[in-house]
Each structure stands twice: as C-alpha cells, then as structure tokens.
Chain A
Amino acid sequence: MALGRPAAALRNGVTTTGLRPLAPTPMQTHRLASGGFVDRSRPLPFVFDGRAMTGLAGDTLASALLANGVRLVGRSFKYHRPRGILSAGSEEPNALVELRAGARREPNTRATGIELFDGLVAESQNRWPSLHFDMLAINAWFSPFIKAGFYYKTFMWPASLWENLYEPLIRRAAGLGRAAGEEDPDHYEKAFAFCDVLVVGSGPAGLAAALAAGRGGARVILCEEDFALGGRLLSERKEVDGVEGHVWAARAVAELQSMPEVRILPRSTVFGAYDHGTYGAVERVADHLSVPPGHLPRQRGWRIVAKRCVLASGAIERPMVFAGNDLPGVMLAGAVRSYLNRFAVAPGRRAVVYTSGDDGWRTLVDLARAGVEVAALVDTRPAVDESLIALARSHDVRTVLGAEVLRARGFQSLAAVEIGASDGRIERIACDLLAMSNGWNPALHLTAHLGGRPRWDDSLAAFVPGTVPSGMAVAGAAAGKLALAEALADGVRLGSEAAAACGFAGPAIPVAAETERTGSAPLWRAPKRGANKAFVDLQNDVTVADVALAHREGFRAVEHLKRYTTLGMATDQGKTSNLPGLAIMAALSGRTIPEVGATVFRPPYTPVAIGALAGHHRGKDFRPTRRSPVHAWAQARGAVFVEAGLWLRQQYFPRAGERDWLETVKREVATVRGGVGLCDVSTLGKIDIQGADAAEFLERVYVNGWKSLAIGRARYGLMLREDGFVLDDGTTSRLGEEHFVMTTTTASAAKVMQHLEFCRQVLWPELDVQMTPVTEQWAQLAVAGPRSREALRAVVDNAHDLSNEAFPYLAAGEVTVGGGVPARLFRISFSGELAYELAVPASFGEAAAEAIMAAGAPFGIAPYGTEALSAMRIEKGHVAGNELNGQTTARDLGLGGMMSTKKDFVGRLMAKRSALVDPDRPMLAGFRPVRLSDRLRAGAHFLPLGAPASAEHDEGHMTSAAFSPTLGSWIGLGLIRRGAERVGERVRALDPVRGGDVEVEICSPVFVDPAGERLRG
C-alpha cells in the first residue's frame, strides 16, 4: 500500500496534461466489491493532474479519487500544506480543484460536489511546480512570522514599495485557483417559481415534509443540492418503515414524482432567503455533462416565491482540533460512512475512529463491515454506554476511552496518530485514516439570512435556529433533531402544517424508524502542543495559535476574531471551522460559547456562479434594444447607429467617398440648411394628455403658461424638479380643448412619465387628467430645410393647407397622408430651419419616410442623423441633454424669463433659493474659437485669459461643441459665470485631459438666424 507516499508521489508528479506521458491508469484500488449507489457497469474515465483514472457513474470526483487511492488533492492557502478530502459534502474546506480546462476552467470547485462525468479533467491548485512538490510549502517554515494579521504590522516603508513589491508578492501567493481568463462560453438562464411549500433538502426530514405537503395537494418544490435524493439515508445503514433507508427514500421520491403539483429540483442549492418568502436557488442543469448541449443552459438561477418553507438542510459534522489535523487521511466520520455506504469506497486501509459522541461508533461498524481494519476507537468520554462497548467488542475493535488524539503524523498523508490517554501515557497508532466526530451543527444558515440569530442549545452543544424568517419552519437535523425517527416525524409534522397553512390539509403519515443513540460531549479543548499546526480553519490556514494571538491582541469580539484571523472567510465560510474557533476563543477569554456568539450568516449558502445570477442578460442581451419604427429603412440607407439610452438612433448616413464622419455631417447639415433633410425623431417621448383639467395640469408641471395656448398650436415647455432645477423640456401641442400631446427628450421619457403620474395621482388627485404614453404608436419624422414645405406637400393629403398663413410656425394639427392615413403635423424646428415634424402610425413610418424621400428628391433631400441634428441645434443655441444635466436652472440656460410669476408650478419656490439666483452662477453662452481653425471640445473649462490653470480661476465649462458647416468653424455652447453679460470677451477653453487650450470668444448662443426668420418663413 503506497497511498500518496513521497516516492510514489514524486514519480507521478505530473502536472500538465499532454506534456508528459500519462502515468498508467491505476486501478480503483479502494473500491469496495459491492454495495453503494454507483453503477459498476458505467465506468467513467477522468483525469486528475494529468493522471488518467476511472471512476463510476454515481461518483463524485472526491469519491472517484479516493477509489483510485488518491489522497493528496490540494495545497492550503497560506502555508501550502498538503491537503486531502475532509468531508463528503458542500462543507468541504480542502479538496478544491480547478475543474475543466480552457475557457471552461472553474477554480475552487469542491471535489466533493462534482458529479463525475465522462472525460472530466481537473487539476489541483495553489501549488508550484506540482502538487507533490510545492515550492511555497516553504511558507510553513515561516509560519511564526506570518501569523494572523502580520501584514498589518509591516511593509509600511517606503510607501511606493507596497504597490511595486510587497503587494504583488502577497497577491501572487494568495488566492486559490486560477480563473479561465476568457469569456465564459456557456449560457445561463433565470427562472421564477411559485409554490405553497418549498422544501429545502431531500433527506428523511425533507422527503417526509414534501410527502406530507404533497399528499395534501399543496404545490411543493423540493430542492436538493446533491444529484442524488435521500440525504443521509444514502450514507447511513438505517431502516425506515422496515426497509433500508435508501429504499424508503427511493419510494418517497417515486411517489413525489407521481404528484402533478410537486416539482423536484435535484442539483439545486437554495442559496439564500430573502424578504417575503423569496428564495434564491441555483440549479446546475448541465454541470454533470462535459459540455452543456446547445438547448440547455449550464445553470439556472431561480427566484422561488414560497408561501411556506420547510428547511430540512440537515447538519454538518464538526471536526476535532489537534496538531496535524489537516493531513490527508483525517476525515469526518460521517463522510467516511458516506464513502463506504454510498460510494462503495474505502477511504483507507487501517483506520482509527476518534469521537466524542455515540455517532462515531456507527462508523466503526460500517468500517468493519467494509473490511477496513479498525486499529482503535478513541472516545474522549471516560465512560460510554455498555451497548457501544459491546458493539466494538463484537467487531473486535480495541476501544480507548477518556483519551484524546494529540497529533497526527505523516508526510503528505496520515501515517499515524498519537493518542494521549487519561493517565498521561502517549501511544502511537499507525493508521492511514482517522474518522473523527465531534458532534453536529444544524445547517441553519438560511434561518439567519434575514437577520435571525441562532440560539445556543446546551443539550446539543450547538447553535440551533433561533428566530426564523416568517413562513419558515425547520425540520430534522437542521433543527437539532438528529435521530432519524425524530427527523422523519418532524418532517411529516412541519410538512403538513405548512400545507395546511396554505389550505391543504392532508392525511397523517406515520413513518417508523429505529431509535438510535445520539449522545455527545464535544471536545472543545485543543491539545497544548502543536498549536501552530492545529488547524481551526483548514482552508484559510487559521491555527489555534492564530486564535490565541487574536485574543492576546484584543480581537476578542467574535467578528474581530473572524476578520483578524480570516477564520470562516474562505470558500466554505467556516462550515466546519467556525464553532471550533469560537470554542477556543471562549476558553481563552473565560466566556461561554454563546457569550462569544456566532458571526453573521450571509448568503449564499454555497458560492454561486455570477453567470447564473445574470442569466440571459449579457452581451447584446444585457438590456433590450429599442429600435425606431424606421430602423430597417435607415439601415438600408446606410445609417450608422448610436446608443441613446436603450434606443438605437441614426447617427449619420455616410456616402461612398466620404472620408470621415465629419465630412458626412457637414454634407448633411448643408443639405438641410440649403434644401431639405429628413431625420427620424421617433425616439422622443410622447405623452397624450387629456381631460377637463389638462391645461391646468400643464400649468402646474411646466414653468410657463398653457391655458392661453390655442387649439392647433404648439409651445416649447420647460419642466423643473421640485428642487428648482430643470427636469426636461419639449414641445407640447394642443389638439383640442381638452387634448394635448407632450414630447419629452429621448433620455427622460420614462422619468418624466413617472413624474407626471406622481403629480397627477399624488399631488393633485382631484384633477380630471388622463395620460397615455404614445411613443411607440408614432413614427415621427422631422422634415427640415427651406424646401421642406415643398417636399411635404407631396406627402400630406391635399385637403390640408400647408401655406405659411394656414399652417404657420408652431402650428400643430391632425392631417392625413398618403391618401387617408391619419397623421399629425407639427411645425416645430430644432434645426432653426423651416421645418415640420410629421407623425404617422408606426407601421406607416417606413412608407412615409420613403414617400418624403421621393418627394424631396428634386430638392436634393438626404436623411440626416443625430450628429447633424446636434450641430444644427448648437448653431441655433437650443439646449439639450448636455445642458439639461440636472445641475442647471432655467435661469442658467437663459430661460428664466419663461418662469411664470402668476401661477404655482413644480419647482417654483425652490428655484428662488439664494444660491439658485446668484448672479455669479454660470450661464449659457455661445463660444467660438478666436483662431478659426481651432477645435472646440465639450468638457473644456473656461478660465480668464492669462490666468493660471487652477481651480480658483475656473469659470465654467463647455457643454456642447460641434463643427458648424454654416459658420465654417467649431462652435460651442457653455456655461460661464455671468455669461450673458460677457459677450465679446475672450477666455481660455482649457482641456488638459485632451491637451486642448483654445482662446475663445464669448458670443450669443444663437449662431444662426438669431431673428428666427428662417423657421417662420
């Protein structure tokens, strides 16, 4: 037997697949000949650290490794000590591997939770160059120097060495596995589920609860993190209802599967409890396959809403703390039983059982049955029940009572233990397996996620659920009911109670199980010697000496202990280590364990893949894309698109031969200013406002007046927030006495709608106002330029007079186009030209656009995008998003005059606060470069000429800039202190982050047609 012996280990010390010939496939040397729930007819090849091996269907990676005699599977976090497999479940602190390869590599994956699949590849981690020979194992020699928190005390001089030397070294040494560093190729989904009763865990308690609730007719969801259902029934040799426990479980599962309202989710961990009966769960849909098939996600994140929850999550066994307790071969006794009974694997050849309770003795029996030699059973209790002694005797196992394991010995795995008897004698017993049991901790994590605090139970010597979330009940071992019969009864009772609370009473279900002994007297003390090697937190390498140091340095509050030593902060969140740590702190500080208290439990119960919580929403599907009704039309016309919130807008329409976007934009502007252009403005928010009080409503939400607006007219409106700053602007048109359509900016449409609903419902519920968002209904096309009337004439039905007299600037009305299609026409202009906006039902948008293009062809019509639109609005001094940035007032924007003094409106009072009317505030102005060729950039700051570049001279900033084809130079809008008064003055526009420093002249913000003759023409 050469289990992980140095020589063999070095021989097999291959780390990377493919580089060296693979070692010959070892046999499953530790597989039992019979029993277990593995399928001997389905061998599954897999590779660990480059070694090809074979396991069986039904194995976990851990059980398959053990079956192959592999014991050393990883290196510890800090001291790089050899580590093996401690447990058989999700509490595993040691056996973490990098699963899969390439873009699918998953670091820190617990071998005990990996369902073996054909072709599985895994590597050990945190070692270099190989698992068996790890250079950083030298850290262990320095352990006295790198105790808890040592880094807080050094590396302070000189400051720069921290980032350049110490930190990179620490970072490289720390961390566990390596991320793939590539895009995750797999897909994820989310799903919602609703039920009457959520049962967490499929052990006896969970199955009983699900049966009870299901038979009553309730909608039940049963979540089990394991791929096999049955919980401990698969690992223990116990009878239920006269049959073996696993048989009972299989029958229960079959019955549950037959119930239409019961849904069983295996491979699904309920990771968190959230408010009001919402639970988060993650289903590993395809992790047991080497690659998910195309139609399935890898994992699915569930949001489960349950009226009631029965938490039947079982209990987690506690280890003992002694020097060398981290050696491969030291295992939890319950895990040993799992490997023997469920996986048909002998985790060792010669075992010592070390226990502080009756539970350990069960291990002895199971080991003996499997043919593993049991060298001794050590019980810390001086006396135990006679029946147990008899049991040991019947298996011919030597028992040592009132003794402790002082130290485990071995190089890379366990070779012997030293036992200290009550009389002080020390004895060394050779063994390769130590099965230890120090009592059980209820897995109560989910009870505490909403702030519930666990309660200490003296008789169990464990924390048990204290206050639990409303709607939750805890059953079985999770509630401290450790005996099988109790767990079953508990499950039945709580399952039917939960169903009954949802209106589904079912028949009582009697389930019988043998009684068993669950007595325990946990050993909290750690042996005095070897405190530097007695591990409390195996994953984070926290030793008894570290806890003592924390105590000595004053980190005695339990949360300080945790944070200073990192006890319980590793990927296992201290499932096996927290309580031993607390116990040692309690002993050191003369307090009881409950006086020390437990640290806060937080979700997730076990780590959850980020992808599963994001689901479908990544890449282009991160957020929906909104397309305008004429999107395809614009695409066909060669548009380049740009994101505007969720919308894609047409930015510009390049033509062959144009060198860059600027050339295109110049052409588009020239086309509009010289002839006619067409621009899609469908994305602007549109709100239909009706009702007897519609005008009154507008009076209150806009700063300017609305009652006087005539039917058939449009008006520019400005809205403030209640704090007096500008919220949004847009034109609103009156279509009837009690009917308006409001437009909002694209970016603020939803925000404005919510604000208006607030005003309507909360502030002034007495008003008769009806609002409907109609953005989606209309395709809206701006037709702008001196020839726009002529172009439109061919599209709008002849019955409508478009002459300047009949349809002047700011006219608005319902028209028909294309022979009877209802449409709306607005004579409004963002560009400053004679311009219209034509709204047609969205499905007519493309036809309308084409019709306008055809009608405008004689005038050289071209489509233009947001860039040209923006250049023209800057030329006209119209404010837009850059100016309406939430920090400006109406006054700042030169729109102070719009604020009515005759009425109340939202924001009126707060806009009068002294700082908002301070004449020194930056105000809107225009800017043009003194040297015409200079480029202006938004974001530049203004400083007086000659003033040094420092904050006290900062006078404002450029909000928008564009090349003005009309003026032949760059122009800008900006906010500068007392802007309006300073026209003609020159200042610096300083843009250090882009290296710009341009002399500009302050001018009127209206660069083109200040008298507004064109738009009225």
Chain B
Amino acid sequence: METVPLKLVTIVAEPVLEERLTGELRRLGARGWTVTESRGEGSRGIRASDIPGSGVRIETVVSATVADAILGHVARQYFPRYAVIAYVTTVDVVRGDKYV
C-alpha cells in the first residue's frame, strides 16, 4: 500500500477556542480536522478545567509547511494566554495527496 508522508498536528486547547482554531486551520491550509473531547492537566492545568468541558483535542493532517504555519500561529496567538499544547509528528497517509 503506497502512502504519502505528511505531518499530523495535534492541538489540545480550551473548548472556547475550538470554533476559532478550526476556522484558522482552514485559513492556514488544512483540508480537514478531527476533534475529540478531552480533559487534562498542565502547568496552568486549573485554567483548562475552569471552563466546563475542559478540553478539545484537535488533530489535522497537513503538509510540512502548513504544519509549520499552524504551530507558529498557535505559539504566537494562544500560548501566552490560553491553556494549550501543540505538537507535530510524521504519519504515512493513505491517498495522502488529498490533504495537501
């Protein structure tokens, strides 16, 4: 099965940010995303759980450049003042061309 190596970006953030983040992902070039409800703790742990619902875990499969843009955006826009974590890894995607 031939696949395409792409970037899987994972962002865990406060629920109030979901709509905003997914909208920005689109603008930054993501073709889609998958959201799962989550709860968790971190350095500002209390924050995340302050707003009921505690957390959303957003995953998006994108090209390396788009991934970089997304991480940069999250770092600038949200890291300073919201409960967020974001990381990226490489995945081999079926019909990967669809997502770039």
A binds B: no
- B interface vs A, CB < 8 Å? none
